[in-house]
Amino acid sequence: MNYLEEYKKWCESPEFDENTKKELLAIKDNEEEIEDRFYQELEFGTAGLRGVIGAGTNRMNQYTVGKATQGLANYIIEQGTQNKGVVISYDSRKMSKEFSKQTALILCANGIKAYLFENLRPVPELSFTVRELGCTAGVMITASHNPPKYNGYKVYWEDGAQIVSPRDKEIIGKVREVENFSEIKQISEKEAVEKGLLHMIGTEMDDKYLNVLKNSVLNPDIMREQGKKLKVVYTPLHGTGNTVTERLLKELGLENVYVVPEQKEPNGEFPTVDYPNPEDKKAFKLALALAKKVEADVVLATDPDADRLGIFAKDSKTGEYMTYTGNMSALLIAEYRISQMKEKGLLPQNGMLITTIVSSDLAKAIAKYYHLACPEVLTGFKNIGAVMKKAEENKDKTYVFGYEESYGCLIGDYARDKDGIAAVMALCEAACYYQSQNKTLWDAMHDIYEKYGYYKEEQVSIVREGVQGAQEIKDMMTKMRNTDIEKIGNYQVLTFKDVQEDKVKNRKTGEITKTGLPQSNVLYYELEDNAWCCIRPSGTEPKIKLYMGVKGDTEEEAKEKLEGLKKAMMQIVEK
């Protein structure tokens, strides 16, 4: 069926409600819009759904969410784990509450227990709750840091991590088997409650989650003492973060926490930001204005589902607020926590620091210094979760820290996804500790560079939207995959990894080996002089992502190297 036939079906079939038909009839003369809405089904990818909210097969709506949930329900029943139940949470986005309730009731209609948060909660608390309640799965309604027009549907499994291979493919298969929306089972809320299938989760889970975080603080006395002086500005960017963050920091002894008032309340329109992403410096505009007003030491922002954290820290020498990349903030936390664990005799001999293929090589340097294993996985925290699960089953490694460059880390094994709430807490603890030594977080960051070398990284996105854009991204990857690149900028290519083809080519010897990584559309270039580049299409947005990193003896040298490498990489990809 082509997109026009599918459009006609949605406009005429009794399967679809009148509001959906009205929305679609309003675009009857816009063939480009019709094509974009119907040229494909919104793909249930390896973590679930993500797309623009609206009517159509290529949109987030009650029908695509229903189909995904029915497929998930069929899979759970096939596994025989329906009595263990599924936890559902949601963020502040448009339709999040409606989609979460719909998800819960479809599961209940299939005889599966559903534990639904009574109000919005962060991703890390969902991950924790799946483990805490011993559920078979979890669903988070969120589009993370995407623009306001998006929403999404993330699926977690019993370990609290997002689904990975082969389970992701098995669930995707079950979703695709749901051919008609009439196959989606229905039940009323009243009936679901009466049958003992629908259970609401309140603040009691907040208490359990926050107690685990508080117990992970390494220097509680220093935090209470310095918390009287440290000034922190925090913004949840209209998302879930402040459901627990302000309470957590105050209970740990921070007396000067300023939440940006204009961004404190959840709001799916995200009225004060173009893009609710702590990776975007523009998202900090109001927070930085408040920081200057109250003379804050640290400025923190979490994204709508509170798994990512962005920070600015004051440089006492200049009085300026300095931005941190995701690599910098996570590895500042890592160095602080690991050094303190070692000092207190808490660092396990079989410990591991898990990183990703596109994250800073500084992680490897820190791991080597503290004699930790440093597994390197593909992009996506679910892959870090998979290593944690394997280590837990084999009892051969102990998780110490894990992170990815996209502003996310996890400080303990209580959950299996990145935790922006815990990261806020850990950075505030680090700030208190360094303040007790008359240092700022910016001083601490420079101490790390002096200790290990000046590692600098950057990520660049090339956006290509729509049907044509999707083809352009595909063509870029094909061209790069089939081009034997000898040199990128000033750097010779030492090895070329094609993760999709499971192939590593040593360009000096010509030797071909395997990557040892799961199949993924990723190309990686190891360069001379401790430099590297990586390219992959985004799994959630219409863009191709370029990652790169260098190491210099000084900050100036590292910046210069990085700028040259970025220009060279952009020229190769776009020409």
**Rounded-to-integer distance, Cα 180 and Cα 3, Å:** 16
pTM: 0.94
Above 90 in pLDDT, residue 465?
no
**Rounded-to-integer distance, Cα 211 and Cα 244, Å:** 11
Longest Cα–Cα distance of the chain, Å, equals 70
Above 90 in pLDDT, residue 5?
yes
What confidence score (pLDDT) does residue 538 get? 86
Does the annotation count 144 as an active-site position? yes
Q: Are 372 and 467 in contact (CB under 8 A)?
A: no
Tokens of 542: 């219409």
CATH class of the domain comprising 454-574: alpha beta
Say whether domain 40-202 belongs to CATH 3.40.120.10: yes
Interacting residues of 550 by C-beta distance below 8 A, sequence separation 6+: 455, 456, 457, 529, 530, 531, 558, 561, 562, 565
What confidence score (pLDDT) does residue 197 get? 98
Lowest mean pLDDT among 253-257, 520-524, 535-539, 554-558: 535-539
Query: Of all helices (H) and strands (E), which one includes residue 152?
Result: strand 150-157
**Rounded-to-integer distance, Cα 228 and Cα 514, Å:** 54
Q: How confident is the model over 293-341, as pLDDT tens digits?
A: 999 999 999 999 999 999 999 998 999 999 999 999 999 999 999 999 9
Catalytic residue among 89, 92, 127, 144: 144
- Do 40-202 and 209-452 come out as alike in CATH topology? yes
Q: What angle do CA 213, 445, 278 make, to 5 degrees?
A: 60
Mean pLDDT, residues 11-31: 96
Report helix angle 123-133 to 204-215, nearest 10: 100
Q: How confident is the model over 508-529, as pLDDT tens digits?
A: 999 999 999 988 999 999 999 9
- 187: which strand partners? none
**Rounded-to-integer distance, Cα 544 and Cα 565, Å:** 17
What confidence score (pLDDT) does residue 125 get? 98
Tokens 């669930």 sit on residue: 171
- What SS3 class is residue 433? helix
Confidence of residue 145 (pLDDT cuts 50, 70, 90): confident
Mean pLDDT, residues 543-571: 96
Q: How confident is the model over 431-444, as pLDDT tens digits?
A: 999 999 999 999 99
Mean pLDDT, residues 376-397: 95
- What SS3 class is residue 478? helix
Mean pLDDT, residues 75-104: 97
Neighbours of 339 (CB within 10 A): 17
- In b/e form, how buried is each residue of 318-332, taking b as 16+ CB within 10 angstroms? eeebbebbbbbbbbb
What confidence score (pLDDT) does residue 510 get? 93
CA 155 to chain centre: 13
Q: Are 83 and 65 in contact (CB under 8 A)?
A: no
Q: Classify domain 209-452 by CATH number.
A: 3.40.120.10
Query: Of all helices (H) and strands (E), which one includes residue 329?
Result: helix 326-343
Tokens of 63: 């029908």
Above 90 in pLDDT, residue 491?
yes
What confidence score (pLDDT) does residue 541 get? 77
Omega of the bond prior to 375 within 30 degrees of 0, cis? no
Above 90 in pLDDT, residue 47?
no
Above 70 in pLDDT, residue 46?
no
Q: Which of 23, 125, 116, 129 is nearest to 69 (CA)?
A: 116
**Rounded-to-integer distance, Cα 55 and Cα 25, Å:** 11
Q: How confident is the model over 400-438, as pLDDT tens digits?
A: 999 999 999 999 999 999 999 999 999 999 999 999 999
Across the chain, mean pLDDT equals 96
The CA R_g of the chain, rounded to the nearest whole Å, is 24
What confidence score (pLDDT) does residue 48 get? 82
Quick one: what percent of the chain has pLDDT higher than 70? Answer: 99
Q: Are 73 and 185 in contact (CB under 8 A)?
A: yes
All structural domains of the chain with their residue ranges:
40-202, 209-452, 454-574
Secondary structure (DSSP) of 20-88: HHHHHHTTTT-HHHHHHHHSS-----SSEEEEEBSSSTTSBSHHHHHHHHHHHHHHHHHHT-GGG-EEE
Q: Are 236 and 276 in contact (CB under 8 A)?
A: no
Neighbours of 177 (CB within 10 A): 13
What does the H/E/C string look like for 196-255? CCEEEECCHHHHHHHHHHHHCCCCHHHHHHHCCCCEEEEECCCCCHHHCHHHHHHHCCCC
Q: Are 173 and 123 in contact (CB under 8 A)?
A: no
- In b/e form, how buried is each residue of 526-564, taking b as 16+ CB within 10 angstroms? bbeebbbbbbbbeebbbbbbbbbbbbbeeeeebeebbeb
What confidence score (pLDDT) does residue 228 get? 98
Mean pLDDT, residues 23-42: 94
Which ranges in 395-537 belong to alpha helices (H)? 420-436, 441-452, 466-482
What confidence score (pLDDT) does residue 467 get? 81
Tokens 């090589």 sit on residue: 361
- 409: which strand partners? 403
